[in-house]
Amino acid sequence: MIGPAAVRFLHDAPLGTRVVVRYRLPEGSEAGATDALGELVERTPESSTIETRRGSVTVPDADVVAAKAVPPAPAPRGHRRSP
């Protein structure tokens, strides 16, 4: 979903849904936008919070470019054994 539909998705999705959210960075940032991939853990009327591997990211609705649900993360791989 893009634009307003992405914001509606974030506000309607059940907490705990794994999502990816593309959002604009502040003016003057090296990159124009970035992504937050993780679990939707909180929302307010003005923002959504995603718990990523690096910590919580709160994204203001006004900065959301796109958002969608994504499948669960793959299970960790086992260690290789030496022959």
Helix and strand totals (H; E) in the chain: 1, 5
Q: Quick check: 21 and 44 in contact, CB under 8 A?
A: no
Q: pTM to 2 decimals?
A: 0.84
Q: What are phi and psi of 82, to 5 degrees?
A: -75, 140
**What's the one-letter identity of residue 30?**
E
Q: Give the integer Cα–Cα distance in Å for 44 and 3.
A: 18
Q: Give the integer Cα–Cα distance in Å for 27 and 62.
A: 13
pLDDT tens sequence across 46-79: 999 999 999 999 999 999 999 999 998 888 887 7
